[in-house]
Structure 1
Amino acid sequence: MTNRETRHIKKIQPKLTFLKVKIENHPLFKDGLEFSLMSGARVTARTKDQLTNLSGKLWVTNLATIVGKNATGKTTILNTIAGILTLLFYDLSIEQTSLKNMLIGNNPIKITTFFYGSNEKLYKDEIVFKNNGADKKWIIDSEKIYQKEFKPQFTKKQILDFTGIKPILDRKELDEVAATILATNDSIFRVIIAKENYKTQTIIENIIFTNVNAIYYGESTVPTEILRFLDPTIDYLKVEQQRDEAGAIKLLYRLKFKNRDEEITATGFDVIQRFLSSGTSKGITLYGNVVSALKSGGIIFVDELENHFNHAIVRSFIEYFSDPKVNVNRATLIFSTHYHELLDDINRGDEIYITKRKDKIELQRYSSTDIRNDYKKSEVFESDLLGGTAPEYESYLRLKKQTKKVVEDKHE
């Protein structure tokens, strides 16, 4: 190869991949709550295509679900993880991320996040958030970043062991100029990203659409395939952007059904939603976000994936991330669900986290339990074998008694 040919070889940009997060001293969480995408079970020939091998023994799942009873903290966990990743990956302040509503209480909260760089480097970012007291605004009190070389012979335990490693960046030891420029609610992790020229995973938060019925799609024409999948009676749907006289952008919805000659047009979603089911609207939005994640190799967070969808539709979205022929860029889906029957469609126990709540929110990885593999995961959940996954029988009896009382009183 000549020098001229060598100069024309495009240098591959290294990628930064999220591995694990640990949350300490949060008033809602059991201290030391952890969420990890690193494989927590044996990598087998049957399931390895559903994982991504970063290097050596370092494998990560492309799918993770958080399942639990109502009010066990599923949404809170999703928002906290998405919030810390958005803070670290983008030039955003705390207030510009979902962390703004997740940091609560009066005591400092510590969040430690681990990453792998494809240039064979491992990182640990350790942030302590505190309430400044004056205006109840949360700021970053301290932040330390640790780095070490990844070695293919590392065991799983050695990968995230930073014992004896000194921080390469310490917020409290920045020079005077840098300290003056840096805002109290901004992370210094951007220094690492810029220095190593890392391509970070795109963070897509579909959580905001859990209880909001709206249509957002990246292109003007919604693909016919997703429309027919959600509602076979739809001929086409277009969402076009227009500017009014003041220059403000407005959306024009153009909808046509197969059995109608006329096209329905509207400039407001409140009109168009009269003709579409909630499942269709949410499905279009979710599909657009899923495609965005698959194209970029990012991470998409979805709360209550089953919301307004039947089992077949939910299963199809999950399969996109577990099928290597579709998920060629190794995107990641992290979602919560109440629909425990979905667990039987998930092959690996390390793709499942179970939330419980006594005094505080707890998170347990299914692969860390001693439940036999021949048990159906949905039955384990329903039968409360792990404790705290099914409604208490006493609560059921009390509710039934109260319902009977109300009904009887009504007819007196």
Structure 2
Amino acid sequence: MQNSKIKLIGFQIFGHSLFQDGSIFSIQTASQVTSRTKSRVYQLNGHLTLNRTIGIVGINATGKSTLMEIFKGLNDLYLKSLSIDQTSLIHSFRSNERRIRVRTFFASDTDDRFCADTSFAQTLADESTTPAPTKQFEWLITAEKIYHSKTAASKSKYFEFKENQLAAQRSALSQKERLLLSPKDSIFRIVLQQSTMFYDVISTVSLTDSNVVKSFADETPPELLEYLDSSIDYLKYKVDDSGHTLSYILKFKGEENIIVVSNLSDIANYLSSGTIKGITLFYEFLNALRQGATLLVDEIELHVNKQIVRDFIGFFSDPKINVNNATLVYSSHYIELTDDLDRQDEEYILIRKVQTKLCRLNDAKVRTELKNSEIFQNNYLKGTAPSYTRYMNLKRTIVKHNQSLSQDATNTMGSGENSRDVK
């Protein structure tokens, strides 16, 4: 692993209450790379090809955000060596049986490949550290095996391992190692050299319901402002030595007045929500493109013009811009965005009945002449459109509610007339 860099590729999950057992999510290519689509993929090493963009679509409550939070949490647990309760896994793990097993896949740019096969259990927190009135459950690691190989493997079997490729096992640790290792920490870093570098995973999922400006070093690029809102002259930032923003300095073209605010929320009084979201998206996109990171963006179309979203996504699929081989994983309710995905393995469709099924479009066996958006909107895969029966039940509820209000109004008027008669 000397001078190599490792990347989280995907995972397979069992026991999660939302997803079907054995569900797999991966940024690895799963279909043939042609001359027409080769610019949309990149080689991490001599045997592994990855997608530059992955789109996730599904109706409400199918688990799009949860899927991305699990991906981010696994990266932080294994590659950043954080404890479970320091990651997004603490709120993205949900299990009726309070047990989850995850097989997490990694690969390096020097042809190393890994699988962390980990079992998690949710137990009551230690009463000695948690007061009785605030008892909570916590996730702990109960079993763990790490597999490693450098031997060549086909695309379909790249992350299949044999027992003789077992590199570390939690149950085989010495007594001293067990005492030093928390049940909330993984043994994965034991396998890696401490100097091993990794490609980061950047997530904006926690910011989905908020719309705040991300500060650049000293000034928002004027080219970005011109693209988003040509009426803005500049947006600068005054920061202290630690990088904390002290004030925001905004000026519009043709106006002498310079607006200075110290509170981030006050910017929203002067800039449109679309401009604010555009600045934030560009900041995160630029950050990921510089690092070659995997960027997770939930509901990418929120507040932003659809063409701007398309243009921003295009930064990742353009190898002249995406020179560090970053990957964008986004979810969207703007289904037409998926028509821009030229490869069927770039799209995951989440279909929920009792549990959510992760359907990669290349596995769906649909007619190739259909647009990606048509497959979803026409409910071709059954479960990608709201239930008609549930819609009719909701409609009847509205009718009953209106009838009830009308009856109440009639009764009120009637009682008023009666009271006047009595007088």
Do they superpose with TM above 0.5? yes
Alignment of 1:58-97 (within 5 A): 58-97=48-87
One-letter amino acid of the counterpart of residue 147, structure 1 = H
How far apart in 1 are the matches of 2:112 and 2:285? 29
Question: 1:212: Cα distance to partner?
Answer: 1.0
One-letter amino acid of the counterpart of residue 54, structure 2 = A
Question: 1:57: Cα distance to partner?
Answer: 4.5
One-letter amino acid of the counterpart of residue 81, structure 1 = F
Partner SS, residue 302 of structure 2 = coil
**Which residue is equivalent to 1:342?**
337
How far apart in 1 are the matches of 2:160 and 2:28? 14
**Which residue is equivalent to 2:129?**
none
How far apart in 2 are the matches of 1:296 and 1:261? 39
Q: Which 10-residue stretch deviates more, 17-26 or 52-61?
A: 52-61
**Which residue is equivalent to 1:17?**
7
**Which residue is equivalent to 1:3?**
none
**Which residue is equivalent to 2:215?**
217
Matched, 1:137 2:138: yes
**Which residue is equivalent to 1:117?**
108
Matched, 1:379 2:370: no
How far apart in 1 are the matches of 2:36 and 2:369? 16
Alignment of 1:246-257 (within 5 A): 249=244, 251-257=246-252
One-letter amino acid of the counterpart of residue 221, structure 2 = P
Q: Which 10-residue stretch deviates more, 16-25 or 339-348?
A: 16-25
Q: Deviations over 1:144-193 (max 9, x none)?
A: 11011132xx3222312213434211122222332222222111222233
**Which residue is equivalent to 2:16?**
26
How far apart in 2 are the matches of 1:404 and 1:107? 41
One-letter amino acid of the counterpart of residue 223, structure 2 = E
How far apart in 2 are the matches of 1:216 and 1:360? 36
One-letter amino acid of the counterpart of residue 50, structure 1 = R
One-letter amino acid of the counterpart of residue 72, structure 1 = T
How far apart in 2 are the matches of 1:225 and 1:142? 52
Residues 227 and 407 of structure 1, relative CA distance in 2, 3 Å threshold: farther
Normalising by structure 2, we get a TM-score of 0.88
Asked if the contact 2:216/2:237 (under 8 Å) is kept, the reply is no
Residues 248 and 338 of structure 1, relative CA distance in 2, 3 Å threshold: closer
User: Considering only CA atoms, is the larger Rg found in Structure 1 or Structure 2?
Assistant: 2
Matched, 1:282 2:277: yes
**Which residue is equivalent to 2:132?**
none
**Which residue is equivalent to 1:8?**
none
The partner residue of 1:318 within 313, 316, 334 is: 313
The partner residue of 1:258 within 249, 253, 262 is: 253
Asked if the contact 2:215/2:245 (under 8 Å) is kept, the reply is no
Normalising by structure 1, we get a TM-score of 0.90
The partner residue of 2:225 within 224, 227, 232 is: 227
The partner residue of 2:29 within 14, 39, 47 is: 39
One-letter amino acid of the counterpart of residue 145, structure 2 = K
One-letter amino acid of the counterpart of residue 54, structure 1 = L
**Which residue is equivalent to 1:351?**
346
Question: 1:239: Cα distance to partner?
Answer: 2.4
Question: 1:54: Cα distance to partner?
Answer: 2.8
Asked if the contact 1:40/1:368 (under 8 Å) is kept, the reply is no
Residues 264 and 132 of structure 1, relative CA distance in 2, 3 Å threshold: same
Partner SS, residue 381 of structure 2 = coil
Question: 1:58: Cα distance to partner?
Answer: 2.3
Question: 1:81: Cα distance to partner?
Answer: 1.1
Question: CA RMSD for the aligned pairs?
Answer: 2.1
How far apart in 2 are the matches of 1:27 and 1:344? 31
Asked if the contact 1:353/1:365 (under 8 Å) is kept, the reply is yes
Equivalent residues, number:
396
Q: Deviations over 1:270-301 (max 9, x none)?
A: 22211112222122112111111000001111
How far apart in 2 are the matches of 1:12 and 1:255? 48
How far apart in 1 are the matches of 2:110 and 2:371? 40
**Which residue is equivalent to 1:180?**
179
Q: Which 10-residue stretch deviates more, 75-84 or 276-285?
A: 276-285
One-letter amino acid of the counterpart of residue 384, structure 2 = T
Asked if the contact 1:148/1:165 (under 8 Å) is kept, the reply is no
How far apart in 2 are the matches of 1:304 and 1:375? 24
**Which residue is equivalent to 1:100?**
90
Structure 2, gaps ≥5 residues long: 126-135, 410-423
Asked if the contact 2:290/2:324 (under 8 Å) is kept, the reply is yes
How far apart in 2 are the matches of 1:127 and 1:239? 45
